[in-house]
Amino acid sequence: MKNITVGDVYRKYVVEYPRGKQQGMADFADLISARIGAIKAFLDPPEEPVEETLSKLQMIDLCCSNEIQIYKKSLIQDLPTTKSIWKVHAKDLEYHDVPTRSLPICLVLGPSGSGKTCFALQYLRTALVPPGKKVVTLYLYPARTGIQFRKNETLAAVELMNWISNAITRTYQITRESQTSTSKKLDMHVCLVLDEAGSSYTKAWFESKEMLQTLCDQASRTLASSVTVIVVGTGLTGRELSPSKDAIIFRMKPWQRSDLTRVLERTKCHHCG
């Protein structure tokens, strides 16, 4: 229990407990020898704002792709090569009153299997967060939303924000066992991770600076008071964006020998444990 977070407890005993959240909270109360009333008041208060619920969930996979679960269980986090890439731009990821880039976007580019998704979830989901803001990471595949990302058509940005808002409402209603709508703009920071954006269905759209600008504008206007957009994709080039003026661009590299050594060591420890 030493390294478990409130978010971990909330997800395990309230959101995902096999026998339902009431039994989950009762079992957790027994586990730590606490009063069930106190546990319910802390984990599942009756009038909890949607921002509080989402922040406790921490990361939400809106497309049910299991990528977040894979990330949590993976042995490829914090490798020497990815750590060195992150360090180059670590200061750029800090919040500044005057933004260092024109767009609140991070691009994670590179070959398949280079750890782009893991890198985004490990290092970038707390990027550019204003002080004191609650944070949630929303993860999805644009190609799985059913939206047509036609080249140079800005309507896709509007439709994507509507799709995300509806997905948030479904998540909140399932988690809270409520019919409350969450259609209002969120007063929190949202890290929006758009993975596999380099697929044949979406690549041309996400290569366009104009479309990315529209996406950021729409997210800031309708989704949340603070947003960082993380675009991840094999095959994307970011050719229309300046890494010094427009966006923070990470170019992943193939794994090195030191990375493989680290993975093998962790695998051995994992099996031994």
How many residues comprise the chain?
Answer: 273
> What is the percent of the chain with per-residue pLDDT over 70, rounded to a whole number?
90
- Partners of 109 in beta bridges: 233, 251
Nearest-angstrom CA–CA distance, 194 and 202: 11
Nearest-angstrom CA–CA distance, 216 and 133: 18
Q: Tell me if 117 is assigned to some domain.
A: yes
Beta carbons of 136 and 259 less than 8 angstroms apart: no
Residue 171 or residue 137, greater confidence? 137
Q: Tell me if 1 is assigned to some domain.
A: no
Assigned token pair, 79: 């490798």
Query: What is the span of the domain harbouring residue 189?
Result: 51-272
* 72 and 19 together in one domain: no
CATH at 149: 3.40.50
* 35 and 64 together in one domain: no
Q: Tell me if 169 is assigned to some domain.
A: yes
Structure letter (DSSP) for residue 193 = E
* 61 and 30 together in one domain: no
pLDDT at 130: 93
Q: Tell me if 70 is assigned to some domain.
A: yes
* 248 and 187 together in one domain: yes
* 203 and 82 together in one domain: yes
Is residue 189 helix, strand or coil? strand
Beta carbons of 115 and 234 less than 8 angstroms apart: no
Q: Tell me if 233 is assigned to some domain.
A: yes
pLDDT at 267: 67
Q: What is the mean pLDDT of the chain?
A: 87
* pLDDT interval class at 64 (50, 70, 90): confident
Beta carbons of 203 and 236 less than 8 angstroms apart: yes
* 57 and 26 together in one domain: no
* 129 and 68 together in one domain: yes
* 76 and 29 together in one domain: no
* 37 and 55 together in one domain: no
Helix axes 21-31, 36-43, angle to 10 degrees: 120
User: Based on the structure, what is the number of domains in the chain?
Assistant: 2
Q: pLDDT tens, 220-261? A: 999 999 999 999 999 999 999 999 999 999 998 877 777 677
Nearest-angstrom CA–CA distance, 126 and 101: 16
* 68 and 200 together in one domain: yes
* 30 and 124 together in one domain: no
- Partners of 107 in beta bridges: 231, 249
Structure letter (DSSP) for residue 92 = G
* 119 and 242 together in one domain: yes
Q: Tell me if 193 is assigned to some domain.
A: yes
Nearest-angstrom CA–CA distance, 140 and 162: 14
Angle among Cα 31, 49, 59 to the nearest 5 degrees reads 65
> Identity (one letter) of the amino acid at 228?
T
Q: pLDDT tens, 171-213? A: 877 677 666 666 689 999 999 999 999 999 999 999 999 999 9
